[in-house]
Chains A and B, each alone.
Chain A
Amino acid sequence: MRDQVVPRVIARMLIPYMLVYGFYVASHGELGPGGGFQAGVILAAALILHSLVHGLEETQRGVPRRWVDRTMAFGVLLYIGVGIHGLLAGNAFLDYSSLALGATDPESIHGAEAMGMTLVETGVTLTVAAVMVTLFDKFATAARR
């Protein structure tokens, strides 16, 4: 579709908004409707739209496969890391209150819990986005063979 103007222009207009919207949904996960899964899919949709219009190779020049693979693992690591932070602080696994870093007033604890959820949701976002991109990549390359 590289030589067609309309899809190219529309993609150029849409992709930045899709990315911003993805981050918006991710950051609202713990309070409003949204969350890691939806955000990850929206972010991946932006990349998939790019490769539909410009071709897979063009997208992979910007976002190499190796990085997608690592993002997949990094997202999970972020999630586990939040849990282990609780463990190392002497609390239970995934006890977010340890993220208050010693502060005990209710305000800080509440903030730490929001922080914990946001970090976990960010991990989910990254992993889901990377998995969706990989799935598309696999199907696209398999279809070409």
Chain B
Amino acid sequence: MSFADHLPLLVLLVPLLGGVLSVFTGGGRVPWLWACSVTLLTFLGALELFSIVTTAGTRTYALGDWPAPWGIELVVDTLSAIVITLVSGIATVVTFFARRNVEKDIPADRLNFFYSLWLLAITGLLGITATGDAFNLYVLLEISSLTIYALVAMGKETDRRALPAAINYLVMGSIGASFLLIGVGYLYMATGTLNMADLHETLTLMREAEGGFNRTVLTSFAFITVGLGLKMALFPLHTWMPNAYTYAPAAVSALLAATATKVGIYMAFRFTFTVFGSDFGFLQPPNSTVLMACACGAVLFGSYVAIRQRSLARLLAYSSVAQIGYIVLGLSVLQTDAVTGSILHIVNHALMKGGLFLVVGVVAWRLGSSDLSALGGLGRRMPLTSAAFVVGGLGLIGVPGTAGFVSKWYLLSGLLSSGHWPLAVTVLIGSVLAGIYVWRVVEIIYFRPPDPRHAEVSEGPVTMLLPVWILIGLSLWFGVHSAGPVALAGEAARTLLGQGG
């Protein structure tokens, strides 16, 4: 086997091995340098894999050389390749950014363990995206979740409230993962297989033979949907998220917001489309109505609550609740343009929210807090950071010229052309509410008198601003040069909906 054949494996193996070896890296800057090089290497591998998948089609890899329905198989198709590149790229940028924040938040003798957990979390997220096996997906989900609970709890050095937040996340996350496991168990009972492609085929045969699905399959669909809803923080199952994002170390919040919830949504796409299939009628009313109601609730509730927050991190967390609503909205209507918009929004929102949480990181590092009351007059002291917030905020609203506009455009045109105009109205109301919460922050940082407590504050260092502007700049770039991403997302959407491609 050549090097290129091993790539689906290598994007998991490099961070896994790097994460384990990180324990031996000692102290000082070595663990951080190590994590930077590991994530960069992973990202380069992911880029290579991305270019192979987009030109030559889906790649598979049989672990231990056991053939597919029996052994564990890695399957990287267009959607997986997009998410793998996104996760590893953002992980690289955030790791490069993380050094100062982590040195401030984590005791010096724990740095090697911190970066070990960090890399293992990335391994889990990449693994979920690459695997083609439903049970293996659960195992990798647990790898990423357990490490992320620990990473969130490590915020305790700056704020003890990180501990209850992590416990809450642990309990909710474990319930979600158990539901997913129960669902996968029922599927295995019904079909006798765990491979996703094989599951789909067996289910199709079953449906043709029996003229429908038995209760085992229906129950499994219900369990998986609720479990994944918990994992991706879909309203009203989002309650663990705001606290976890607020009290985790700033670098962890950025990684979590940009990648972990996106991978949760990726799992929802995988199960709804690849395993169950869009033609099975699972996503017809009343099921789809429930999902749409949850998504609309997420958009309206998340945006409304975000307006009332006092801390920048919490505001962004509630805004994430709303953005997940948009993505699920696109998924629930089963229409090519809407699903394209959803996939685009996974990428665009990851870039924007990642960038915005890095802004929170810079602010928290400089001011020691991200409370809105402390941000008065920040626009003059930290002009580049503030400008990054404004650009990212415009993206959240969906102003033309930003990436958020492109994804919302496709989402809206999909919703309208499939006749769901009440949903389209919800999207527009959500955008207006986003305008209000972004404006509230802009008003504080540009028009309020400076806070005397922070009179000495100056702009963040270049090594922190560069990652911020890479993510924010990319979100602008994808807003202007949108043809490439749109074509890719469209192809991924058509593959998912089973329209060839």
- Taking Cβ atoms with an 8 Å cutoff, the residues of A that contact B are 69-70, 72-73, 76-77, 80, 83-84, 86-87, 90-97
Q: Tell which of B58-66, B225-233, B482-490 binds the partner.
A: B58-66
B382 within 8 A of A: no
CA of A138 to CA of B362, assembled, Å: 33
B63:A92 contact, CB within 8 angstroms: yes
Q: Given that A80-B13, A80-B17 are known contacts, is A93 also in contact with B24, CB under 8 Å in the complex? A: no
B residues 407-431 near A (Cβ < 8 Å) are: none
Give chain A residues whose Cβ lies under 8 Å from the Cβ of B21. 73, 77
A92:B20 contact, CB within 8 angstroms: no
Q: Please name the 10 residue pairs, one residue from A and one from B, whose CB atoms are nearest each other, closest first.
A: A73-B23, A94-B64, A92-B65, A95-B65, A76-B20, A73-B20, A93-B9, A95-B64, A77-B20, A80-B17
Closest beta carbon of chain A to B427's beta carbon, Å: 44
CA of A84 to CA of B18, assembled, Å: 13
What range describes how many residues of B lie at the interface? 10 to 19
CA of A90 to CA of B62, assembled, Å: 14
CA of A58 to CA of B137, assembled, Å: 42
Q: Given that A80-B17, A87-B6 are known contacts, is A92 also in contact with B24, CB under 8 Å in the complex? A: no
CA of A27 to CA of B199, assembled, Å: 35
A92:B17 contact, CB within 8 angstroms: no
Q: Given that A70-B23, A77-B20 are known contacts, is A92 also in contact with B61, CB under 8 Å in the complex? A: yes
Give chain A residues whose Cβ lies under 8 Å from the Cβ of B64. 86, 92-96
Can you list 5 A-B pairs, Cβ within 8 angstroms, ordered by A?
A70-B23, A80-B16, A86-B64, A87-B9, A91-B65
A80 CB contact (under 8 Å) in B1, B20, B62, B113: B20
CA of A87 to CA of B65, assembled, Å: 11
A93:B23 contact, CB within 8 angstroms: no
Q: Write the chain B residue with the least CB distance to A81.
A: B17
CA of A77 to CA of B116, assembled, Å: 13
Closest beta carbon of chain A to B39's beta carbon, Å: 18
Give chain B residues whose Cβ lies under 8 Å from the Cβ of A97. 65
B62:A72 contact, CB within 8 angstroms: no
Give chain B residues whose Cβ lies under 8 Å from the Cβ of A90. 1
Give chain A residues whose Cβ lies under 8 Å from the Cβ of B1. 90-92
CA of A93 to CA of B130, assembled, Å: 15
CA of A144 to CA of B138, assembled, Å: 36
Q: Write the chain B residue with the least CB distance to A91.
A: B65
Closest beta carbon of chain A to B142's beta carbon, Å: 14
Q: Write the chain A residue with the least CB distance to B12.
A: A93
